[in-house]
Amino acid sequence: MHLSAAIAGSPIPVGPATAGPRVRFPSAGRGFEMRWRAWVGIGAIVIVAASGFILLRGPAEPATGDSTPSATPVTIAPVVQGDVPIELDALGRVQAANTVIIRAQVAGQVQKFAFEEGQAVVAGQLLAQIDPRPYQATVDQDQATLARDRANLANAEADLRRYIPLVGKGLVSTQQVDTQRALVAQLGATIAADQAVLDRDQVQLGYTSITAPSAGIAGLRLVDVGNVVGPADQNGLVVINQVQPIYVLFALAQADLPEIKIRAGKGELTVEAWSQDNSRKLDTGGLSVINNQVDATSGTVMLRGTFPNPHDMLWPGAFVSIRLVLDVQHGGLTVPATALQRGPQGTYVWTVAGDGTAQPTAVTVRQSRHGQVLVSSGLSAGEQVVTNGQYGLVPGAHVAVQNAEPQQGNAPTPVQSMRNTQTNRVGFSP
């Protein structure tokens, strides 16, 4: 059986069906034949590639019909209203109100110590005893000399009293009376000198008993019993530090000095001493001294606070955190510092509405201290702010609250570690 077809206006014979179709093109149509074969090859390649992609991808997931995005996990904390101190922070060094180095004022051998190291002592308490025997002997000698001269004076005064009546009888000359009167005066001066020597030596004898000049805490002994000490010893026997009251020295920038002077002029400023990690208040005192010049090297001014220190929580030489309270903001609004974000338009926080959506809210910050931020505008008491999980939030995004964090008074709010499963999206992000 033969079939015929017309391509390019010429009849094309077709062979028997058992031999397969065979298409012949005239010589004028060979270009068309090459293009046709090229397009057939490209189509076959595309079909094979599409089939492979479908096989690798696997069966398509059935549509759920829910296109709502999942909520972003966050932690939140409330905006708290209350009295907030306006403070300046500094690092302070504790200094004893009085530091006394106890030294021997006379030379001699130390016989005993009468105090416990590291314990409190009171003014006048015996601290150490130096061998008093040489000084006691000197005092005894002075007393004997004084007694002898007093006896001589008494005898001279008696002779003078006897001589005076005999002058009128011509038995004693006037010169002899004058000489006796001078002898009495001389012996009186000798007795005065003897008394002065006795007083001096008694003072020296008193120095053998070393007492505390003021109350305080005794340090470690610097010498042991049996050593010979004297006024030339520079180290001394022991050091006593007065710790009630006690001082704390701290430096602040000279830029803060005008405000400090203005506030101090209205009354004594409160100074709080805290542990270095700001976890515990040690004592509360007052600003007592502002140094009379600014350090030109550091640009700071030295200040001193005085603390009663009733429980000895402040110890000389220790470093503490100082908070100088300038004012108190009544009804101030605070949020955890972790809630504060910064963007091109300034500072802001993410607030959570009642429907569970987050919105960025611009805020004005007055101060940031100890993990808390005092906000002067932009928020209201009781609002909820995001403290962790801000990454990836966009305005109107749904949030899933992991836990509500209570606001801490003086320490940063602890925030649990979370992993945000949302992909990063363009928007307000830290």
* 51: helix, strand or coil: helix
Which pLDDT value is given to residue 298? 93
- CA–CA separation, 107 and 148 (whole Å): 29
Question: Which residues does the chain have with pLDDT short of 50?
Answer: 1-21, 23, 25-28, 60, 62-65, 407-430
- CA–CA separation, 274 and 63 (whole Å): 61
The one-character DSSP state at 38 is: H
How far lies 129's CA from each of 133, 220, 361, in Å?
Answer: 11, 17, 74
Task: Copy the structure tokens of residue 153.
Answer: 């004076």
Q: pLDDT tens, 56-99?
A: 555 545 444 455 567 889 999 999 999 888 899 999 999 999 99
- The residue written with tokens 């110890």 in the block is 315
Which pLDDT value is given to residue 45? 77
In this prediction the pTM is 0.66
- CA–CA separation, 361 and 378 (whole Å): 7
Which pLDDT value is given to residue 3? 38
Which pLDDT value is given to residue 36? 64
The one-character DSSP state at 245 is: E
Which pLDDT value is given to residue 416? 36
Which pLDDT value is given to residue 44? 72
The alpha-helical segments, DSSP class H, found in 168-224 are 174-206
How far, rounded to the nearest angstrom, does the alpha carbon of residue 279 sit from its chain's CA centroid?
A: 10
Residues forming beta bridges with residue 88, ordered by sequence position: 324
Which pLDDT value is given to residue 426? 33
Burial class of residue 94 in the structure, from the number of CB atoms within 10 Å of its CB (0-12 exposed, 13-18 middle, 19+ buried): buried
Side chain identity, residue 417: S
Residues forming beta bridges with residue 86, ordered by sequence position: 327
Which pLDDT value is given to residue 31? 60
Which pLDDT value is given to residue 247? 97
Which pLDDT value is given to residue 141? 96
Which pLDDT value is given to residue 170? 78
